[in-house]
Structure 1
Amino acid sequence: MRLGSFLKLVEIKTKIASMVPFMLGTIYAIYRFNAFNVKNFLLMFISLLSFDMVTTALNNYFDYKRARKKEGYNYEQHNAIVRDKLTEPMVITVILVLLGIAILFGVLLYLNTNIIVLLVGAISFAVGIVYSFGPLPISRMPLGEVFSGFFMGFVIIFVSAFVHIYDRNIILLTLEGQWLSLRLNAMEVLALFAFAVPAVCGIANIMLANNICDVDDDMENKRYTLPIYIGKEKALWLFETLYYIAFVDIIILAVFRIVSPIVLLTLLVFIPVRRNIGLFRKKQTKKDTFELAVKNFVAICGSQFMLVGISIIFSLINLF
């Protein structure tokens, strides 16, 4: 398999949807807990990137296998299996190798941290697999936005922060005799979730934009996604509303000092985000406007990451 075909099969450009939350969780651990573990950072990076490529390759493979409509941009150009004439054994081999890498480095990460990472990681792996695999995959139901937003937006941020602070007693799982006890610092977990809300909304909107663009093809291929259930107009309203929720959350983060008030500068990207919302409302196609959802995600979460980073630098020189 040529490198270009591989990168298209795993849609390497979309990996930003997992890497940005990964970096956000990391910088949150540095900002709030002054903690950074290089080994755990690298182990999670490799495992996460490999598994993200697995889920994308699986999704493309099963879209190819289940497709009823076999012409048009989504089938002939967007799917690397069709475009580059990849064989099924070749695609399956790539998926299995990537899955093996993801599991290996995930286990190493668990051995270097604790059982919480193993449990959350195992659940995330299971959800990622059933997203595309099985008789009723998540990608063919109106739940894709919920699962992608929660697991890629919150769970990745949670784990990528937790691997640096696993020994800080934020979450404890203990077995004493017949009693299994879970204890957590509710305020810290809520603060981390609030920090993750812009990523949750942004990633859910990437999935929502994708499904809005594919409404006609999905109907023909019997993929009953959220826009098909609620209609395109309500889906577009939801698309817009989720961005507003993200910006309101940024204000809440600053007001409750979960992060430095300097993060309020993220609100400046509201102008280009609002413009992109308007462009997407006018035209919804994978080829022309889908990337606007990705640009909005990068604008909001990239600014959030950068400004938290700047606040860390300022704190080191006692400006904040």
Structure 2
Amino acid sequence: MGIISFLKLVEIQTKVASVIPYIVGTAFALYKFDNFNTKNAILLFLSMIIFDMTVTAINNYVDYIKAIKKEGFGYEEHNAITKYGLKPKTVLGIIIGMLILSASLGIILFLNTNIIILLVGLVCFTIGIFYSFGPIPISRTPFGEIFSGVTMGFFITFLAVYIHIFDKEILNISILEGNLKLIINLKVIMSIFIISIPLIVGIANIMLANNICDMEDDFINRRFTLPIYIGKENALNIFKYLYYIGFVGIIIGVILKVLPITSLLVLLVFIPINKNIKLFYTVQSKKDTFVLAVKNFVLLNVTYIFTILLGILF
């Protein structure tokens, strides 16, 4: 397998959906706690990005194995196994190798921190694997948007913050003299959730846009996603309002002083994002307009990152 076919198999261009939450969490840890742990940051990044690639490879592998309709833009152009004539056994071997490497890095990170990293990591690994694998993969149900949005939007952001402040009694579980001790700082946990809202809705909308564009092919291939259950019109309305929720989340964060006042500058990108929403309403095509969901995610959240960094400076 060549480098190009491997990068296509793991859809490297989509890794922005995990890298951006990681950066937001890191920026927030610097802004709110003035903490940065280089070793933990590197371990989390490598484990996260490799696991993200693993999940994508599993998705392409399962789609290849289960595909009923084997022609059309989505199948021929977006599945590297078909496009590059990859051997399924080779792909499976790469998936297993990446999974072991990602898990190993996660265990090292756990040994450097505490049990919370292990527990949250196990949750993420479980959701990631069963997102595309198993008798009823999550991606083939109406819950794909929820699981992808929360897992990547919230859990990655949480981990990116927590690895820098794990020793500050924000969240921890311990056993002392036979007694289970649970520490939860609800204020900090809720703060992390609030800053994650633009990420959760943006990632959920990438999944939703993908499913709206693939409705006909998904029905044939027995992928009963959210748009198939609720209809295209309702799905498009959810697509629109989720972005609005993202902006409201940032405003709430500023009002509650979770985010710096500079984060209100994100409102400047409302007009281009709304324009992209209207374009997607007009045409829903994997080839032509699906990319608008990715552009909106990047535009909203990269701007968001810069506003947090400005808050650190000022």
**Smaller-chain TM-score bracket:** over 0.9
For 1:113, the aligned partner's letter is T
Q: CA deviation at 1:181?
A: 3.1
Question: How far apart are the structure 2 equivalents of 1:285 and 1:2?
Answer: 29
Q: Deviations over 1:192-245 (max 9, x none)?
A: 100100000000000000100100000000000000000000000000000000
Query: Which secondary structure state, in structure 1, belongs to the residue aligned with residue 182 of structure 2?
Result: strand
1:61: which partner in 2?
61
Q: TM-score, normalised by structure 1?
A: 0.97
2:110: which partner in 1?
110
Question: How far apart are the structure 2 equivalents of 1:131 and 1:118?
Answer: 20
For 1:209, the aligned partner's letter is A
Question: How far apart are the structure 1 equivalents of 2:185 and 2:11?
Answer: 37
Q: Deviations over 1:1-48 (max 9, x none)?
A: 111100100000000000000111111111000000000000001000
Q: CA deviation at 1:179?
A: 3.7
For 1:75, the aligned partner's letter is Y
Q: Deviations over 1:229-265 (max 9, x none)?
A: 0000000000000000011111111111111111100
Task: Give the paired residue count.
Answer: 314
> Is the 8 Å Cα contact of residues 115 and 172 (structure 2) preserved in structure 1?
no
Q: CA deviation at 1:100?
A: 1.4
Q: CA deviation at 1:182?
A: 2.1
CA RMSD of superposed structures (Å): 0.8
For 1:192, the aligned partner's letter is I
Query: Which secondary structure state, in structure 1, belongs to the residue aligned with residue 242 of structure 2?
Result: helix
1:2: which partner in 2?
2
1:278: which partner in 2?
278
Question: How far apart are the structure 2 equivalents of 1:264 and 1:28?
Answer: 15
Query: Which secondary structure state, in structure 2, belongs to the residue aligned with residue 173 of structure 1?
Result: strand
Does residue 206 of the first structure (1) align with residue 206 of the second (2)? yes
> Is the 8 Å Cα contact of residues 250 and 259 (structure 2) preserved in structure 1?
no
Query: Which secondary structure state, in structure 1, belongs to the residue aligned with residue 135 of structure 2?
Result: coil
1:183: which partner in 2?
183
Query: Which secondary structure state, in structure 2, belongs to the residue aligned with residue 86 of structure 1?
Result: coil
Question: How far apart are the structure 2 equivalents of 1:225 and 1:85?
Answer: 28
Q: What does 1:67-216 correspond to in 2, within 5 Å?
A: 67-216=67-216
Identity of aligned residues (%): 51
Q: CA deviation at 1:148?
A: 0.4
Q: Deviations over 1:139-173 (max 9, x none)?
A: 11000000001010000000110000000100121
Question: How far apart are the structure 1 equivalents of 2:180 and 2:142?
Answer: 35
Query: Which secondary structure state, in structure 2, belongs to the residue aligned with residue 284 of structure 1?
Result: coil
Question: How far apart are the structure 1 equivalents of 2:147 and 2:183?
Answer: 25
2:24: which partner in 1?
24
Q: CA deviation at 1:74?
A: 1.1
| Structure 2 unpaired stretches of 5+ | none
> Is the 8 Å Cα contact of residues 205 and 293 (structure 2) preserved in structure 1?
yes
Q: Deviations over 1:269-308 (max 9, x none)?
A: 0011000000000111111111100110111111111111
1:317: which partner in 2?
none
Q: Deviations over 1:85-108 (max 9, x none)?
A: 000111011111111110111011
Question: How far apart are the structure 2 equivalents of 1:104 and 1:174?
Answer: 23
Question: How far apart are the structure 2 equivalents of 1:50 and 1:174?
Answer: 30
Question: How far apart are the structure 2 equivalents of 1:126 and 1:65?
Answer: 21
For 2:64, the aligned partner's letter is Y
1:240: which partner in 2?
240
Greater than 3 Å deviation, 4+ residue runs: 176-179
Question: How far apart are the structure 1 equivalents of 2:9 and 2:229?
Answer: 29
Query: Which secondary structure state, in structure 1, belongs to the residue aligned with residue 132 of structure 2?
Result: coil
Q: What does 1:281-292 correspond to in 2, within 5 Å?
A: 281-292=281-292
